[in-house]
Structure 1
């Protein structure tokens, strides 16, 4: 820390971390594990700080050096400006771990209950990717009142579907976040061939492309057994399954003794409708990417750990 102070001392580093704050504005310092007495750390002395009136004098010579270093290390200097101060060390350690990971741009395709939600966090953490779920991105853009978010809200307020171009634009914005630097997992998009084509066009403009499409293939009969057997405890979120993870007493939460409920979407009738829509819309997307040689078939009926092993082999 504190070196390199000039561009000539920094040319051999492989990466750099830029901790930026507004010029002439220093936030209060938070000390992590400060010594209770000088004897704990011999050779250390207290630091009285910099008087506010001297801050400009110390800062101004630093600015041109900083600009020079930024130019020299462009593409290798991480910017943590959008990371909350308490999370800085966690994010720094994560990025150090991720530095050697190859970039990956993935699409997950599979019907409801196929296990995408189980595998996504594992893939995200292992390969340092960001998880982009269409619904979450739309809500975030609307909440942030971005130009695209405002247009999306106008469409939703009218009861209209958000156009493919708007969704792709919102995905494009999300991909530019620092958390997506090593790549992304797209979940819930594309759902049609037209959306897939628009996504490919957007990535091509960035000089990028999809690396793999993971298809969570599973028989509809197995899905029905998985989903219609799910029961939840509403207040805690604890989940059970009548066959695979039953409660001690049928219909009763193990911890509270309160009754369990079944989601409206977890019925055979609703599932049938959702699967029909999936097969009609999404299977052509699988064919589209299969022709590009990007699809990896996963046996999603297997236990989660075995599916994870298949994912690891596919991405190795």
Structure 2
């Protein structure tokens, strides 16, 4: 039986870490919408070319094209055991579209995991993220610091902080997430699919909660 899952969470909630730990254990594919968009564009397929036209013009990619991209991906061999959708859906119309896609495929969503986290915790996580300006290697000044302050262990490049990891930007991103995502949370809660998990600083605890739920 396939396990098709959705993950929701504010920036810094730990979605990426959970995906890396969870998907190999379940034998399912992590689908990050942002990464998938880039892959489809690079493929040069007719769908990719059409999507690229919107991206280049700075316009939002229409929902029907996103839906087609997701549907095509779900039909691929590496998604036969299930997927973890990350970054889609973002709105109620997208959630309704996904519901139709999954119904057509005979693969209903098993669960929607919402990693809830307090703003202060998000700020503490993200303001300490830096990466090498030269090779891109990521670091965390508390959890994974470089051997020498400000210098990349791998190539000696300078470590920098991304603009969207600065506190003021984090606060704005968090507020935007809560505002836009609450309707989606309510939508899945009404369908008894939502599983809220308090995401703390130990990703293994979050993983354990998810695995326990899926085993029930």
Q: Same fold (TM over 0.5)?
A: yes
Q: CA-to-partner distance for each residue in 1:179-236, whole Å, 9 max, x for gaps?
A: 0001111011111111111110121122221111011110011000110111223334
Q: As a proportion of its length, which structure holds more helix?
A: 2
Cα distance change on mapping 1:144 and 1:246 into 2, 3 Å: closer
Which range is displaced more, 135-144 or 163-172? 135-144
2:162 to 263, 273, 284: 263
Would you say 1:159 and 2:58 are equivalent positions?
A: yes
Kindly indicate whether the alpha-carbon contact (under 8 Å) linking 2:7 and 2:86 is maintained by their aligned counterparts in 1.
yes
Whose relative contact order is higher, 1 or 2, with alpha carbons under 8 Å and at least 6 apart? 2
d(CA) in 2 for partners of 1:255, 1:166: 40
1:277 to 155, 176, 183: 176
Cα distance change on mapping 1:139 and 1:256 into 2, 3 Å: closer
Cα distance change on mapping 1:145 and 1:220 into 2, 3 Å: same
d(CA) in 1 for partners of 2:154, 2:100: 51
Q: CA-to-partner distance for each residue in 1:76-117, whole Å, 9 max, x for gaps?
A: xxxxxxxxxxxxxxxxxxxxxxxxxx4100001011111111
2:93 to 194, 197, 200: 194
Cα distance change on mapping 1:143 and 1:251 into 2, 3 Å: closer
Q: What's the secondary structure of 2:4's corresponding residue?
A: strand
Would you say 1:229 and 2:134 are equivalent positions?
A: no
Cα distance change on mapping 1:134 and 1:258 into 2, 3 Å: closer
Kindly indicate whether the alpha-carbon contact (under 8 Å) linking 1:107 and 1:186 is maintained by their aligned counterparts in 2.
yes
Kindly indicate whether the alpha-carbon contact (under 8 Å) linking 1:110 and 1:116 is maintained by their aligned counterparts in 2.
yes
- Aligned residue-pair number: 215
Q: CA-to-partner distance for each residue in 1:146-195, whole Å, 9 max, x for gaps?
A: 33222212222332100111101110001111000011110111111111
Structure 2 gap ranges (5+): none
Cα distance change on mapping 1:142 and 1:233 into 2, 3 Å: closer
What is the RMSD computed on CA atoms of the aligned residues? 1.9
Kindly indicate whether the alpha-carbon contact (under 8 Å) linking 2:115 and 2:196 is maintained by their aligned counterparts in 1.
yes
d(CA) in 2 for partners of 1:143, 1:243: 36
Instruction: Give matches, 1:106-117, under 5 Å.
Output: 106-117=5-16
Instruction: Give matches, 1:136-215, under 5 Å.
Output: 136-215=35-114
Q: CA-to-partner distance for each residue in 1:247-296, whole Å, 9 max, x for gaps?
A: 45543445666542111221012212211221111121111101111111
d(CA) in 1 for partners of 2:200, 2:63: 32
**Greater radius of gyration (CA):** 1
Cα distance change on mapping 1:241 and 1:155 into 2, 3 Å: closer
d(CA) in 1 for partners of 2:52, 2:137: 33
Kindly indicate whether the alpha-carbon contact (under 8 Å) linking 1:219 and 1:301 is maintained by their aligned counterparts in 2.
no
d(CA) in 1 for partners of 2:189, 2:197: 14
